[in-house]
Structure 1
Amino acid sequence: MVQGAPDSHRVERIGDFQILRVIGEGGMGIVYDATERLSGRRVALKVLHSNLTRREDARARFFNEMRIMAGLEHPNIVRSLSSAEIDGKLVMVLEYLEGRTLRAELEATGPLEPARAIAVAKAITSALVAAHERMPPVVHRDLKPENLMILRDGSVKVMDFGVAKVLADEPGLTQASQAVGTVLYMSPEQAEGRPVTPKTDLYALGLVLYEMLTGKPLFDGPSIVGILRQHCEAAPPPFTDDLRRRLPADLDALVFQLLEKAPDRRPADARTVLRRLEGMNPGAVAPALDPLRSSGPRIAPFVGRAAAKKGGKLDTIELLNRLEKPRKWPWIAGAIGVLVVGAAIAVPWTLYLQSRETTVKRKPTATASAETPPVAPAPAPSATASSCGEALACEPFNPPDPAHVDFELMLTRATQVARRVEPTAQLSDISFLVVSEGATVNLTGKRAVSFFHFDVPAGDLSVAVRATDLVADMTAIKKRPPLPPLTCSFKRAVEAAVAGGFEIREMDFANLGIAPVSKKSQWVIVTDGQSAQVNATTCELFRKKK
């Protein structure tokens, strides 16, 4: 082995398997090309990283994939030969595949001919039928060209069920990061953190079909959140006239039905899609393009944009555009956990997104609520009204150490800004406090931003806090009641979680709000695969999920 290579690259044997080379590696594990000592059979070994073998959340995800792969037998799904714990290593033994991924195929050849794209799509859909019709159903959640292998004989295998979900599973496995998948191939419901169903995979199938036919992803761009917002809001660009002339009559319609934003508007199930693909004749081309569907990029008919001017409501696209143009404010958020997964390896990311209103009519009053402690008058902001763009208020924020910001300072400043907008503002929710050392808040990330929500007569007022400024504006979030007095601070809540055995790691964040069942205020500290809930009055750790 190469001198200086990582320990995982210097492995020569795992149990009865001789290691030949490393196929791929990522945040969760490593995949080896290996041979079985007794039979000489060529296999692929997927091994959980040794530094993760003691982490319950990582082990749970790996065991989840083991169980799923053991229960799926289909010619278009990579076959699991066995699973074991060998010398302290969690190992999946998979069939070795000779060929190249669909990603490599597209990069080498460009768009596929329609007949070939249909053949690949039929193989993928056949695999989905097997997974979705299993009891309980299995949803892959991460279909993409990197996870589809084109073998030398032209057959297709679906790989990497690392973030797949058995719909009957206990929800705790993905409690802290409900939206998982890869950004370019993520469905609107995944991006918005809504429940996944088999129709989630159908949207991804539509994305893969679109890319096979055009040679490029449906949505792309430099911004992760920009891509997500297109999946949630933007209409997919139609095929060019030249391409449509070469497509079977029903393929164009099928692709865009698969790409419907609402799951109930997509085809009924994978078997329905498979029947339609099998009935297609590559020689029967699509009819002429409707004059209303130009071959150039399409702009979605956002009702919200017109409504924003008339009734004060903004849709997500308009919100993000407004945030981006005047001051380059970061993306506003309700937690979206995204797993960016390489070929057979998962790497977690966290993103955030929410919407707001443009204007609000305020009725100032002279008295503040007795439930919220008095706040000293806010310092005169250096920003002028025009520099705030269309926000209601803004002011600079320069904490001494942006990587370790005191929560109390953030709360005080956010409350000051909120009460400049509405003197009766009462704290109702806090979201996305990235936990740093010493139970402080880290605001150094490229898009690191925390949100302090306040109940005001007109609805929900949000103050976005980041390392350079604070910005207040109304949101379209449903009005929430004020929180009771906060007697358990952010620092004490984190300390209570740690004392209860909760492991704080990079990208952990905390929210404060009212629990939907108990109706009590609580801190929720979340990371990939686990969450701790701390009573915001007593600081008691009353629930820990993994």
Structure 2
Amino acid sequence: MAISTDEVSTDEFPHSVAPPFQPHFLFNVGEVRYEALQELERRQSGEVLLLAQRRVRKEAPSGRCFVRRLPSPSTHMRRRRLVEEVQLAMRLNHPAIAQVHHVGLFDDALHVVMEYVPGPSLETLVTASVVRGMPMSEDFALYAGAELAEALHHAHTLVDEEGRPLGIVHRDVNPRHVVVGPHGEVKLMNFGAAYSLLVGREESPASLVRGDVAYASPEYIRREPLSPRSDVFSLGVLLVELLTGTHLFDVADVPRFAQERRLRVETIPSLPLKQMRALLSRFGPDFVERAVAALAPEVKAILHKALRVAPEERFASAAELRDALRVVQSLRGESYSRQDAVVETARVLSEGSSMRDKVEFGEAGLYPEGLEAHELVGPEKE
């Protein structure tokens, strides 16, 4: 995810505002020159998200992209894991997943070139809907949820060149990582925390929690085996927030005596790990019902099933959740289209007066027009 620096304060998010930015040359990939236009985000980890443009040598710019500059990890294991995570993301090819096109080393830092997806994130839309005093429509949530479930199903069922399941689990499905594009398309991004059963892959340490724990499944927080149903739970949490304007878990409800196991997070989450574990310790159907009481019965039924504590009681797959969402859509008569999403998104941002004229960039990839073959080689210094 990336957030425009004039949109939120660093007191609310673990990001710092960079000094005035000067556009500059980044690197060449074959005949293509990459130039940084704007710094969109700088994290405490040292990771920087840049808005960039590409041009073939001296010709006019041919498209914009996002470039993530990643600090070099301190250990061989973490460096290997970082490269593998990017390689996993490059395998994904789905219209609802922002593509990762290239990874290369430049000035001792890993640079990842990603699809450019202008538009508000779901986090921005939730914030704007809160400002205007009305959540996103159920129709929008059903539409976005079905698109995301379809994207997750693609990732979950991906196989390698020999037909073996890769076992990919996103692990960080949250509103910051979903962008609504200019044509109403929904894009899921940031597979950088993805877990996979890929043979020979360096796995995250057992004590390490990746991503934002505020959207994590109970089994992930407990460090139990992950499955596609773990992402189903996270998508359920996201949908509750989209439909109600309120996060499912309220930090104010956390008991002070909560105990924390020896777990650590690699990035700062929006809810502390200790508090999230305490909330999940008493999570159940009654908890969910209080959060979704005002929603339509058929929508509530889907959320209840997606948010079961026991993974085996949830939807068996993201595809099953997708189908359930689409059944409810069909029962409502006229389908909700991409154009409907464009209209609603614009209205919500307009009515959220404090959000007017602000754009949040999602963490994605680039080049809607596609990459040429010579752009898939390693970067070179000019």
With the length of structure 2 as denominator, give the TM-score of the two structures: 0.67
Which residue does the alignment assign to 1:256?
304
Distance in 1, matches of 2:292 and 2:322, equals: 25
Where do 5+ consecutive residues of structure 1 fail to align?
286-341, 346-546
The code of the aligned residue for 1:275 comes to D
Q: Which of 117, 122, 125 is the equivalent residue of 1:105?
A: 125
Query: More helix by proportion, 1 or 2?
Result: 2
The code of the aligned residue for 1:230 comes to L
Question: Structure 1 residue 134: deviation in Å?
Answer: 0.4
Which residue does the alignment assign to 1:195?
225
**1:2-55 CA distance string (max 9 Å, x none):** xxx969966722102111011112215111000012153101001112xx2554
Q: Secondary structure at the match of 2:140?
A: helix
Distance verdict in 2 for CA 1:103–1:131, change over 3 Å = same
Indicate whether 1:19 and 2:19 are aligned: no
**1:310-360 CA distance string (max 9 Å, x none):** xxxxxxxxxxxxxxxxxxxxxxxxxxxxxxxx9759xxxxxxxxxxxxxxx
Q: Which of 82, 93, 107 is the equivalent residue of 1:62?
A: 82
Indicate whether 1:173 and 2:203 are aligned: yes
Distance in 1, matches of 2:282 and 2:20, equals: 43
Which residue does the alignment assign to 1:226?
275
Distance verdict in 2 for CA 1:11–1:58, change over 3 Å = farther
Indicate whether 1:215 and 2:245 are aligned: yes
Which residue does the alignment assign to 1:354?
none
Which residue does the alignment assign to 1:48?
70
Distance in 2, matches of 1:9 and 1:57, equals: 33
**1:470-492 CA distance string (max 9 Å, x none):** xxxxxxxxxxxxxxxxxxxxxxx
Q: Secondary structure at the match of 2:145?
A: helix
Indicate whether 1:237 and 2:255 are aligned: no
Distance in 1, matches of 2:70 and 2:223, equals: 27
Distance in 1, matches of 2:250 and 2:291, equals: 18
The code of the aligned residue for 1:183 comes to V
Query: More strand by proportion, 1 or 2?
Result: 1
8 Å contact from structure 2 (residues 195, 203) kept in 1: no
Question: Structure 1 residue 171: deviation in Å?
Answer: 6.9
Q: Percent identity?
A: 24
Q: Secondary structure at the match of 2:96?
A: coil
Indicate whether 1:269 and 2:281 are aligned: no
Distance in 2, matches of 1:14 and 1:239, equals: 50
Q: Which of 55, 70, 76 is the equivalent residue of 1:37?
A: 55
Distance verdict in 2 for CA 1:58–1:32, change over 3 Å = farther
8 Å contact from structure 1 (residues 180, 190) kept in 2: no
Question: Structure 1 residue 114: deviation in Å?
Answer: 0.5
Question: Structure 1 residue 62: deviation in Å?
Answer: 2.5
8 Å contact from structure 2 (residues 81, 203) kept in 1: yes
8 Å contact from structure 1 (residues 187, 200) kept in 2: yes
Q: Secondary structure at the match of 2:191?
A: coil
Which residue does the alignment assign to 2:138?
114
Distance in 2, matches of 1:140 and 1:95, equals: 18
Where do 5+ consecutive residues of structure 2 fail to align?
1-16, 28-32, 160-165, 255-271, 334-360, 365-382
Q: Secondary structure at the match of 2:38?
A: strand
The code of the aligned residue for 1:251 comes to V
Distance verdict in 2 for CA 1:221–1:240, change over 3 Å = closer
Range that drifts further, 226-235 or 116-125: 226-235
8 Å contact from structure 2 (residues 23, 38) kept in 1: no
Distance verdict in 2 for CA 1:343–1:284, change over 3 Å = closer
> Relative contact order (alpha carbons < 8 A, sep ≥ 6): 1 or 2 greater?
2
Determine which structure has more spread, i.e. the larger CA radius of gyration. Answer: 1
Distance in 2, matches of 1:280 and 1:186, equals: 26
Distance in 2, matches of 1:216 and 1:43, equals: 32
The code of the aligned residue for 2:70 comes to L
Distance in 2, matches of 1:184 and 1:88, equals: 33
Distance in 2, matches of 1:193 and 1:256, equals: 23
8 Å contact from structure 2 (residues 117, 362) kept in 1: no
After superposition, residues 154-169 of structure 1 pair within 5 angstroms as: 154-169=184-199
**1:388-444 CA distance string (max 9 Å, x none):** xxxxxxxxxxxxxxxxxxxxxxxxxxxxxxxxxxxxxxxxxxxxxxxxxxxxxxxxx
**1:162-195 CA distance string (max 9 Å, x none):** 1111123557531243433312111111111112
With the length of structure 1 as denominator, give the TM-score of the two structures: 0.48
Distance in 1, matches of 2:219 and 2:199, equals: 19
Distance verdict in 2 for CA 1:181–1:233, change over 3 Å = farther
